[in-house]
Amino acid sequence: MALSRQLEQALTRARDLQPVPAGTTASEVVTTTPRARLHHYGNGDGPPLLIIYSLVNRAYILDINAKRSVIATLVAAGLDVYLLDWLYPDSTWRFDTLDDYLGEDIAEATDYLTRDGQPPHVLGVCQGGVLALSFAAAFPEAVRTVTTLVTPVDFHTSDDQLARLARRMDLASLVAATGNVPAATLNALFTSLKPFQLYGQRYLGLADIANDDQALTEFLKLERWMYDSPDQPGAALLQFAREFYQRNRLLTAEIELAGRIIDLAAIRAPVFNAYARDDHLVPAAAAAALGPALAHDDYKAIELPGGHLGMFISSAAHREIYPTLAGWLHER
């Protein structure tokens, strides 16, 4: 009964704390691309840093907590930070492909941020890291450096549960039936990988923070982010699943995007790669495969203890990853 009362108290208080903000750092939209808005943060005087986030979630996980904000940390380090903020797709996007994202949105953003002939640094997160690597391989002259956070490269590692599921799914039939794939469908897929932690344990833990407004607010921010997922353009999702998850073509250099063969060995820019040791979505081995795929040795890798979200919100990440990354970028 005590647990029941505490949970009821926590849920009542959580209702009163709504709505919670989606981000904490001020920005301005400086231009748009066909599928995104380009946000500018801070006033750093160094070369621009373009962040490319995943298509399947919202980018504000990078700025969800004022004390542990990836964006705020990079701005405070003097970097000139920009974020390609993907819009929510409408029904007309169903035929858009990865070629469109690379050849239009990312190409337009990097062109906008090229100063005096000097291209921007590019940072890709998870699926956005795959897009960043693909772009850097296709257009090596258009990026100054490439940073990847929890980004899969080898999609066929033995511990990749998501890849095994993707290889068994009839995604073509799903896309044919839905056009844009509903976000709820993908959320169900992702939560099925850790059902006890995400459906049971997570909510029982509310009892422990029933009287802590700050902790409840942070919980609600993550809840908002977890379920604020956009629908996915059918053609792009099917292409990503087939070419990468099913056929592993990022690693084998057998895919063509935006009119170019995507061969990671073609990347000329220095590369910084950070990944999580216990990541259930992007296993460490899947991310660590990036180093051997490059044709140069200007490569730095850091493995962080913890899981996928810890890369953005853990104290360890903000102590070990982002100061190191900022220094690395300033050197280049």
Q: Report which of 128, 183, 123, 122 is spatially closest to residue 152, judged by C-alpha positions.
A: 128
Give the DSSP letter string of 15-67.
HHHPSPPS--S--EEEEEETTEEEEEES---SSEEEEE--SSS-GGGGGS-GG
Question: What's the full length of the chain, in residues?
Answer: 332
Report, in this order, helix, strand and coil percent for the chain, each rounded to 5. 50, 15, 35
Rounded distance between C-alpha atoms, residue 182 and residue 175, angstroms: 10
- Could you say which of 72, 126, 216, 311 is catalytic? 126
Give me the half-sphere count of Cα atoms (radius 13 Å) on the Cβ side of residue 163: 20
Answer yes or no: 126 catalytic: yes
Rounded distance between C-alpha atoms, residue 33 and residue 12, angstroms: 41
Region at 137 (left for phi over 0; alpha for psi -120 to 50; beta for the rest): alpha
Q: Which residues are catalytic?
A: 126
